[in-house]
């Protein structure tokens, strides 16, 4: 049975696809056979990213396939070591199905209450729907340069009763440019930004290796 990790949110633009690709890349570089299940078929963000990645000859190879439903994606899961579900926004049913299928679901969120409140609400809904709280983890994405804002967001999530990944991903042009050429956030040349992304990815890996 493949390991399954989801990146989910009810909102668009929070960093689901970026986080999914980050996680996929970090496992792939460690030798795992990884597939991203791109469930946002209207946007096909990760599917298009994979094409750019291939065109630019970036290694390691990461399989990406668009799927209309979680059930479809699961049918193809067993041949991989890891399937990362890149979720679509505004979809209660699919989001819950991803959470049910996955060993871990990452909820990327920005720092504003406009982002944090719906993210916590989604986590509450998942718990109400019998998803184990321990499988849910928040990731701070597109953050600014104020440490106190980051600390307050961490506190907000913690007080709501949820875990949060170590580190945070700043909002930076370099990440967008990297994505434009088919790279993941740990594949950019700026050392400090690569390390920020590595810290977040490592936090996912630590969580899952502890479990196993
Ligand atoms: N940390 C970041 N810094 C700069 N741009 C980012 C960052 N994270 C995401 N983006 C950009 O924001 C947009 C939305 O990100 P994406 O990961 O596709 O979110 P989602 O999948 O939740 O819609 C994309 O254009 C992406 O390149
Ligand atoms: Mg997306």
Instruction: For residue range 162-204, list pLDDT tens digits in order.
Output: 999 999 999 999 999 999 999 999 999 999 999 999 999 999 9
Could you tell me the pTM of the whole model? 0.97
**What three-state secondary structure class fits 149?**
helix
For residue 76, CA distances in Å to 29, 36, 187 come to: 21, 11, 27
Task: Find the helix or strand (DSSP H, E) in which 175 lies.
Answer: helix 173-180
Q: Which residues of 111-150 are buried (b: 16+ CB within 10 A; e: fewer)?
A: beeebbebbbebbeebbeeebeeebbbbbbbbbeeeeeeb
Q: Is 90 in the pocket of ligand 1 (CB under 6 A)?
A: no
Sign of CA dihedral 52, 48, 51, 98: positive
Which segment of 45-49, 91-95, 109-113 scores lowest on mean pLDDT?
91-95
Full residue range of the structural domain in which residue 38 is found:
3-211
Whether the CB of 168 sits within 6 Å of ligand 1? no
**CATH code for the domain in which residue 46 is found:** 3.40.50.300
For residue 2, name the pLDDT band (cuts at 50, 70, 90). Answer: confident
pLDDT at 1: 65
Rounded Cα distance, 203 and 133, in Å: 17
- Residue 48 beta carbon below 6 angstroms from any ligand 1 atom: no
Total number of domains constituting the chain: 1
Tell how strand 34-38 and strand 63-66 pair up: parallel
* pLDDT reported for residue 29: 98
| Rg over CA atoms, the chain | 16
Ligand 1 atom nearest the C-alpha of 169 is: 1
């Amino acid at each position: 049975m493949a390991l399954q990790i989801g990146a989910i949110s009810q909102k668009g633009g929070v960093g689901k696809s970026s986080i999914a690709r980050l996680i996929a890349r970090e496992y792939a570089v460690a030798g795992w056979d990884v597939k991203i299940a791109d469930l946002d078929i209207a946007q096909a963000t990760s599917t298009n990213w994979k094409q750019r990645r291939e065109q630019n000859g970036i290694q390691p190879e990461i399989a990406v396939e668009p799927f209309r439903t979680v059930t479809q994606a699961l049918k193809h899961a067993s041949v991989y070591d890891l399937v990362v579900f890149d979720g679509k926004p505004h979809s209660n049913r699919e989001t819950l199905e991803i959470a049910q299928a996955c060993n871990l679901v990452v909820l990327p969120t920005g720092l504003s209450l406009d982002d944090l409140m719906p993210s916590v609400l989604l986590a509450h809904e998942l718990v109400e729907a019998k998803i184990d709280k321990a499988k849910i983890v928040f990731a701070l994405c597109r953050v600014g340069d104020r440490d106190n804002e980051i600390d307050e967001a961490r506190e907000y999530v913690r007080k709501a009763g949820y875990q949060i990944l170590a580190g945070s991903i700043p909002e930076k042009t370099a990440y967008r440019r990297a994505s434009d050429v088919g790279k993941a956030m740990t594949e950019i040349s700026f050392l400090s930004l690569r390390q920020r992304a590595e810290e977040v990815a490592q936090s996912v890996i630590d969580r899952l290796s502890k479990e196993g």
